[in-house]
């Protein structure tokens, strides 16, 4: 605990918080939504409304842009049997299911998530194994990543992202006394990450593995693992990724294609998506071509409603629209980290680390998706959180954010004098 406090620079603030608890007249060192000390269980009497409205705005924009990006797909023989509103309807259904799930999850105390975190991680591993079994897993475009559930196709890698945030936070809380010893502190997490990595790369889904690795390493760092151990862990992970890219021909071609997607050697294959994504951004200029005015979505830009939705936003809404989306995600990620920091201040280490892990997930995946769309990173196959079409991604995004809201509710309850 001491190392975590030193890492976050919170020692003095925690002392002030303890003094505030002893003396109600003492001003709290963090934002005070103070009410009378009640000692009552947590009730949903206050939450971060700004965070919720930011999420709602992004979801609404995503619904509009998914329809805009998919409305012309039935003109292609591949989607000839679909109506122009097929993807809009499916996306709206996914939003409805995710909204109901979020309302249920926000009622669940964080302590319950702490108890089930290791089991949830094991469940995610089992689902990742099931998706690889012929007849159970569903393959699309050469990747086997989905389990058909009738109403939607569930992608276990999305659950694995949340499960890793919970498991890593739980692990750091349980291993506080050994985190200064490299082998004892790191090897269990390294084994867990290696298992999940092998399963994801077998699908293959390197993009999800990169996000999960970032979440795990981020929580290790925030949890107090010393700088040298963290640097060694990052170095080992980067070396493993380089080996995977160099030894796999199609990944190597992708890595080379993004450096010059217009090269005739790659333009018709590995660089095709990126080249048309860059054309879309170029056509958007400052204010865009107007909603529905994208040309690249007309069968030039593959997966425009999923991985490359940001390119359609850039073409139709221009630099201003893209900048607004980036600012919204930056603000959302910052608020998530603030809530996590408040939990640490209240000595709720698991909640704080888990919430910040979710922040790393949402912010990191957004950054990677934007980098891929702009040609700063090789193509990864990652969707844009909260906006892109994808039922399981939307479901797990809203469940994770509901957990963040629950952590915020419990923070506020404790600052009013209640309990978790």
pLDDT band at 375 (very low <50, low <70, confident <90, very high): confident
> pLDDT tens, 251-308?
777 777 777 777 777 767 777 888 889 999 999 999 999 999 999 999 888 889 999 9
Q: How many domains does the chain have?
A: 1
Give the C-alpha separation, 10 to 17, whole Å: 10
Say if 203 falls within a structural domain: yes
Instruction: Give the least confident one: 66-80, 139-153, 388-402.
Output: 139-153
Give the C-alpha separation, 144 to 133, whole Å: 9
pLDDT band at 419 (very low <50, low <70, confident <90, very high): low
Handedness of CA 389, 390, 393, 395 (dihedral sign): positive
Per DSSP, 190 falls in state: H
Between 215 and 246, the more confident residue is 215
Asked whether the beta carbons of 418 and 40 are under 8 A apart, the reply is yes
Say if 177 falls within a structural domain: yes
Give the C-alpha separation, 420 to 41, whole Å: 7
For 327-373, give the secondary structure using H, E and C.
HHHHHHHHHHHHHHHHHHHCCCHHHHHHHHHHHHHHHHHHHHHHHHH
410: Cβ–Cβ under 8 A, 6 or more apart, which residues?
A: 42, 109, 110, 343, 348, 351, 420
Say what the pLDDT of residue 95 is: 96
Give the C-alpha separation, 10 to 295, whole Å: 52
pLDDT band at 241 (very low <50, low <70, confident <90, very high): confident
Asked whether the beta carbons of 214 and 364 are under 8 A apart, the reply is yes
3-state SS assignment for residue 67: helix
Say if 157 falls within a structural domain: yes
Say if 127 falls within a structural domain: yes
Asked whether the beta carbons of 380 and 210 are under 8 A apart, the reply is yes
Beta bridge mates, 137: 134
Q: How many CA atoms lie within 13 A of 130 on its CB side?
A: 15
The pLDDT > 90 percentage for the chain reads: 49
- Structural domain of residue 53, as residue ranges? 2-415
Instruction: Give the least confident one: 5-9, 15-19, 91-95, 241-245.
Output: 5-9
Give the C-alpha separation, 204 to 145, whole Å: 8
Say what the pLDDT of residue 43 is: 53
The phi, psi pair for 15, rounded to 5°, reads -60, -40
Asked whether the beta carbons of 406 and 106 are under 8 A apart, the reply is yes
Say what the pLDDT of residue 23 is: 54
3-state SS assignment for residue 163: helix
Say if 8 falls within a structural domain: yes
Say if 420 falls within a structural domain: no
Say if 231 falls within a structural domain: yes
Between 270 and 413, the more confident residue is 413
Sheet arrangement for strand 153-154: 138-140, 143-148, 153-154
Residue 60 has pLDDT above 80, yes or no: yes
> pLDDT tens, 118-172?
999 999 999 999 998 887 878 776 678 888 887 788 899 999 999 999 999 998 8
Give the C-alpha separation, 7 to 164, whole Å: 21
Say if 24 falls within a structural domain: yes
Give the C-alpha separation, 169 to 340, whole Å: 12
């Amino acid at each position: 605990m001491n190392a975590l406090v030193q890492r976050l620079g919170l020692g003095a603030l925690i002392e002030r918080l303890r003094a505030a608890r002893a003396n109600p007249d003492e001003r709290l060192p963090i934002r005070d939504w103070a009410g009378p000390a009640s000692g009552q269980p947590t009730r949903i009497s206050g939450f971060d409304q700004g965070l919720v409205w930011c999420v709602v705005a992004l979801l609404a924009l995503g619904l509009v842009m998914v329809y805009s990006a998919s409305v012309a797909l039935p003109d292609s023989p591949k989607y000839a049997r679909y109506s122009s509103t097929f993807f809009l309807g499916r996306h709206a259904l996914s939003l409805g299911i995710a909204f109901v799930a979020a309302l249920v999850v926000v009622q669940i105390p964080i302590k319950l998530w702490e108890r089930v975190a290791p089991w949830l991680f094991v469940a995610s591993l089992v689902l990742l194994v099931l998706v690889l079994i012929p007849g159970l897993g569903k393959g699309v475009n050469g990747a086997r990543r989905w389990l058909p559930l009738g109403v939607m196709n569930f992608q276990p890698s999305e659950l694995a992202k949340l499960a890793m945030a919970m498991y890593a936070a739980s692990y750091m809380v349980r291993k506080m006394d050994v985190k200064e010893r490299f082998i004892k502190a790191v090897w269990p997490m390294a084994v867990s990450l290696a298992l999940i990595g092998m399963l994801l790369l077998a699908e293959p889904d390197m993009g999800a593995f990169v996000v999960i690795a970032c979440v795990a390493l981020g929580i290790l760092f925030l949890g107090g693992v010393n700088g040298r151990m963290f640097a060694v862990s990052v170095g080992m992970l980067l070396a493993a990724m380089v080996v995977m890219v160099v030894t796999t021909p199609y990944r190597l071609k992708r890595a080379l294609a993004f450096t010059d997607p217009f090269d005739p050697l790659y333009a018709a294959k590995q660089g095709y998506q990126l080249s048309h994504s860059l054309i879309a951004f170029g056509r958007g200029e400052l204010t865009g071509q107007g909603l529905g005015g994208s040309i690249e979505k007309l069968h030039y830009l593959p997966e425009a409603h999923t991985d490359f939705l940001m390119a359609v936003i850039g073409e139709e809404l221009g630099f201003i629209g893209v900048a607004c989306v980036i600012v919204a995600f930056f603000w959302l990620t910052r608020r998530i980290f603030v809530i996590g920091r408040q939990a640490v201040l209240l000595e709720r280490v698991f909640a704080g680390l888990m919430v910040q892990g979710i922040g790393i997930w949402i912010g990191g995946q957004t950054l990677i998706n934007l980098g891929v769309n702009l040609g700063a990173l090789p193509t990864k196959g990652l969707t844009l959180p909260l906006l892109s079409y994808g039922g399981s991604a939307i479901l797990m995004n809203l469940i994770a954010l509901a957990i963040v809201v629950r952590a915020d509710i419990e923070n506020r309850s404790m600052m009013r004098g209640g309990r978790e």
